[in-house]
Amino acid sequence: MFSIHLPVIVLLIPLVTALIIPVIADRNSALLQFVVGSAMILATLLVAIALSGTLRGEIFTYYFGDWLPGLGIEFIINVFSGFMSLLVLFMATLILFYAFKDISHDLPEHLIPYYYTLIFLMLFAMIGMIYTNDLFNLYVFMEILSLTSCAIVSIKRTGKNLLASIKYLMQGTIGSVSILMGIAFIYMASGHLNISTIAETMPAIWAAHPQNVLIALGFMLTGFGIKAAVFPLHTWLPDAHSTAPTPSSALLSGLVVKIYLFAMMKVMFQVIGIDILREVGIQFFLVLFAVAGMIMGSVFAIGQKDLKRILAYSSVAQIGYIMLGIALASPSGLNAAFFHVVSHALMKGALFLSAGAIIYNTGKRNVDDFNGIGYRMPFSMTVFTIAAFGMIGIPGVSGFISKWYLSMAVMEGGHPWILLVILFSSFLNSMYYLPIVIKGFLCAECEGSPNVMGRDSLPASMWIPMAIMAFLIILFGLFPQLIMNITGQMPHLFL
């Protein structure tokens, strides 16, 4: 029913907007906000329509320049890519509306239009990475994504930002060079770059040149491991995510890291295939890395004082959960991983935005200064509390559902000892989230202070996105089948 160009149009909207913004940069900021907002809403609506089409069983494929399948670049919108691009665009819309007011707090006036340009280029790269079915195209989008995500950290131009983003750049580039090396080894053996075509020839390659496949798998897992901050390779993440401006932190932690995990899944399950992975026996080691990340990320977070740094380390732990679901490589494991991708995007988005709102209003970043902050900013602290409960996994919030399904998948996969790790990790999560909540709302020294639970003095463009996120966290916690019905269709695309 749609034009066959739909995947490209979705991709072109952020790209064209990124080019328009510098042109209108000198005009008033109202026009800029109108362009940014309308582009985001338009793209989100288009993707939502595409998703509703894929849910009815349609699949949109696009061959660039009409080259034959297998020769040219191919884009696919199926249930997985449609839903995940909708998640990316929806979250980015909320975060960008939040950014309208918040970003002028972090950046000088003349840099703000270029910040939006970078964000739109980043969205372009993220959607491209989700849609593409071509390994080299994946690499090119990945490089755009890594450059722009470094740039939205360094745009603040304080010493710490610069150091964090050059660290991110160095480690990210080592990662992407490794990935390109892996692509070279796969291309050497198969002679194809299209993921579906490689998958068809994979059994023959595995029989003839197993060492090529093994080396490629090693290089690519390492590369995507660095990019996605899987535990021992996570060292760039806390610096980059905590020093960035708040909207950047929310985008980087909530969305960008997961895009690399999706790319990793494409390589693991669609290119190399589950049979070869089982034969190599790599899943068990991935499970170990995931489990180590779940524990160590939280352990590091407990030692931190800076609120945004706590949230960044908590991301390392949460990536461990998603990685665990992927490493189980069973339909229920992938389903849990996809659900946690959604719920973590919402929860981490809400946490970073409410933390940003607290910093915006009070300028406090250190957790020790948070005594009684819930009296001054009841709304932000409520959103923070809901999301923090989700992180801990308290029933009624979406984080509980993802932990529940992950536990079921672990039992199915025959690793019951991981249940203890999930439980322990939840305890560790509560060790650093609950003190903040308790300090914020139950303050011993604040007895005499005026106990007025009024509204925060936040602009509407800041509290509405936070409210939507908090609402969705509770909604998906009470009615997980809203998401589960869609994510349940995805695992068979990979396994």
Residues that bind other proteins (CB under 8 A): 136, 139-140, 143, 147, 150-151, 154, 157-160, 162-163, 165-166, 169-170, 173-174, 177, 180-181, 184, 187-188, 191, 193
Quick check: 320 and 357 in contact, CB under 8 A? no
Using the structure block, give the residue that is written with the tokens 């897992």.
221
Residue 295 has, within 13 A of its CA and on its CB side, a CA count of: 11
Length of the chain: 495
Question: How far apart, in whole angstroms, are the C-alpha atoms of residue 349 and residue 399?
Answer: 13
Whichever of 163 and 443 has its CB closer to other proteins, that residue is 163
Q: Which one, 183 or 466, has the nearer CB to other proteins?
A: 183
State in angstroms the smallest separation of the CB of 226 from other proteins. Answer: 12
Least distance to other proteins, CB of residue 75, Å: 17
CB of 72 to other proteins, least distance (A): 11
Query: Nearest distance from residue 185's CB to other proteins, in Å?
Result: 8
Number of H helices, E strands in the chain: 22, 2
Helix, strand or coil, per DSSP, at residue 489: coil
Query: Minimum distance from CB of 235 to other proteins (Å)?
Result: 12
Minimum distance, C-beta of residue 264 to other proteins, in the bound complex (Å):
19
In the complex, minimum distance from the CB of residue 138 to other proteins, in angstroms, rounded to a whole number = 12
Other beta carbons less than 10 A from residue 163's beta carbon: 14
Sign of the C-alpha dihedral computed for residues 233, 234, 239 and 244 taken in this order: positive
Gyration radius of the chain's alpha carbons: 22
Q: Which is nearer to other proteins, 181 or 408 (CB)?
A: 181
**How far apart are alpha carbons 340 and 126 in whole angstroms?**
18
CB 216 to other proteins: min, Å: 12
Nearer to other proteins, 241 or 348 (CB): 241
199 with 270: CB under 8 angstroms? yes
> What amino acid is encoded at 18 in this protein?
A
**Collapsed DSSP state (helix, strand, coil) of residue 134:** strand
Q: Which of 299, 351, 293 is nearest to 317 (CA)?
A: 293
Task: Give the CA dihedral 130, 62, 11, 57, nearest 10 degrees.
Answer: -60
The nearer residue to other proteins, 72 or 378, going by C-beta atoms, is 72
Please identify, using beta-carbon distances, which residue of 190 and 382 lies nearer to other proteins.
190
**C-alpha span between 390 and 339 (Å, rounded):** 13
Q: Considering beta carbons, is residue 93 or 242 the nearer one to other proteins?
A: 242
Q: For residue 220, what are its two tokens? A: 């690519």
DSSP sequence for 89-119: HHHHHHHHHHHHHHHHHHS-GGGHHHHHHHH
Q: Which is nearer to other proteins, 213 or 345 (CB)?
A: 213
Least Å from the CB of residue 420 to other proteins: 36
Closer to other proteins at the Cβ: 159 or 363?
159
